[in-house]
Structure 1
């Protein structure tokens, strides 16, 4: 098929690469280059970089406006495929390809419609994650579903690790749906169940509330790692938590109380402590949590969340 592909982050790259081996991709649409790193160097999106490697034409667009619509429509695609592009597809572009657009979404729809499905699912403690391929419609992530797959993710997996697994499995699912659309056998069914929403995460979503249980805190840690990052305040200073796990065999501590062992900081919760092994203080690089603790002049009375 003649496809137009729209996507931006690394999670969209496996689908682009698989489709490029099987179909004629007439254009790749992605967000414009963005400033990254401390030096704010303009850097192409992961999808733009992959498209360049594959020799595919790239349309950089912050939004799918009239100009982008005209460029895409002129290429006469038979189908549009979108994976985490970061913008809405509206009419008349929505109807421009002969078969419309399909969307690979990293949730078991109608669960977690929105920008951060994997992160929100992990924060909520969902035991099953998954991917869905659906027909794009004007309403957010509400179209009929062509295919859905539940994916096993390690119980300690953080959002980036879970998304990497979903990206590869979701790519295969998308390839299967495109093949079915091409040969006329694809069938989509309405979504079943009550929708839940997955809005984009903010910095506040990463703030750990030590009055919660260790399971709830670890679920939030997994969901916000690596971005926007789990964090707490100690003595009024923000401390980013990079590596942590429940310390189920440790003695309980009062919520927010800190105890140091040879290998970790134990921070009290409403149940068992959370063992923190790697941190990043504000304005500094990542380091061992124990080394950071030893570097504090006076640890007496210091508590997380204060």
Structure 2
């Protein structure tokens, strides 16, 4: 089976590796163009492009699948296109170019969380179970018939990065099995059932913490936006990133946003919420790397301004 693989971020690399290792003829990789990375804004290939180069696979760089890109895809004579987090829409004209169309690996249990950030929204919503599906790409947004499904439990301590990392590995197996089943003409897509929900792409605003919300909701928002775009708050007009909090939820009673720093060799940082205090594990002050909250607390204790600390 001749396969065009479409993907861009690190989460898609496991699927590319799996298809190659399972013997599929990956004739080319479609990925987004090089993008600036880091403070120095160095133009950098996508993780999928970098891996394809290591594997010696032809790379098609395109942020949109226009007429020229469609011609290149058609010339590949691929049997099927496998798509994992490519980061762009596949136009209707391109859907029928591969003989068996496009199969998408999506990290949710469709029709739940259609869209760009399903894992993040699933954590923020407090779902107990998520998973991944393979489905036939069609004109609608993540609406096509489903070929295969796997489930994954969400631990209360899971961040989006951790959960997505597990799903990337198990989903790669599901994608390979789906392509094998389609090649053998042993799979038929099943229409999606039930009410759909939408997982919009997260922005910086989605990471802002509302300390008046209950501690559980805040924990879910922090975990769901870690590592990207990152959870954050403000202190004296400066933005502080906040890492996943300590699991315990029975700490103190403070006004929302009020910070209590305990003394001792291992100081604790507790912030008031709409329900009860929440202990922080990591804090990233402006211009610095993420640090242990206790280390940040020692600096605050040394400055003598502890009583004035309140996150906005």
The verdict on a shared fold, with TM-score over 0.5 as the criterion, is yes
Question: Contact (CA 8 Å) 2:159, 2:244: kept in 1 or not?
Answer: no
Mapping of 1:1-306 within 5 angstroms?
Answer: 1-21=1-21, 22-261=23-262, 262-296=266-300, 297=303, 298-305=305-312
Q: CA contact under 8 A between 2:181 and 2:187: conserved in structure 1? A: yes
Change (3 A) 1:232 1:29: same
CA contact (8 A) 2:4 2:29 kept: yes
Residue 115 of structure 2: SS of its match in structure 1?
coil
What 5-or-longer segments of structure 1 have no aligned partner? Answer: none
Preserved contact between residue 247 and residue 273 of structure 1 (Cα < 8 Å): no
1:90-112 CA distances to partner (integer Å, 9 max, x unpaired)?
A: 13211000110010000000000
Could you tell which deviates more after superposition, 282-291 or 167-176? 282-291
CA shift at 1:246, angstroms? 4.0
TM-score (norm 1): 0.96
How far, CA to CA, are the matches of 2:290 and 2:76 in structure 1? 47
Is the 8 Å Cα contact of residues 218 and 245 (structure 1) preserved in structure 2? no
SS for the counterpart of 2:139 is: coil
Cα offset for 1:245?
2.6
Partners of 2:251 and 2:279 within 8 A in 1: no
Contact residue 3 and residue 23 of structure 1 kept, 8 A: yes
Distance 1:211 1:143, change over 3 A: same
- The worse-fitting range, judged by mean Cα deviation, of 75-84 and 293-302 is 293-302
CA distance in 2, matches of 1:128, 1:199: 19
Q: Tell me, which stretches of 5 or more residues in structure 2 are unaligned?
A: none
Contact 2:6/2:82 (8 A) holds in 1: yes
| SS at structure 2 position matched to 1:104 | strand
Q: Cα distance, 1:238 vs. partner?
A: 1.2
Deviations 1:97-138 (A, max 9, x none): 011001000000000000000001111111111101000001
CA 1:175–1:263 in structure 2 vs 1: closer, same or farther (change >3 Å)? Answer: farther
CA contact (8 A) 1:215 1:246 kept: no
- Structure 2 length-normalised TM: 0.94
Q: Distance in 1 between matches of 2:248 and 2:270?
A: 8
Is the contact made by 1:2 and 1:23 (CA closer than 8 Å) also made in structure 2? yes
**How far apart in 2 are the matches of 1:59 and 1:46?**
14
Quick one: distance in 2 between partners of 1:152 and 1:193? 21
CA distance in 2, matches of 1:6, 1:224: 25
RMSD: 1.3
The whole-number CA distance in structure 2 between the counterparts of 1:271 and 1:291 is 26
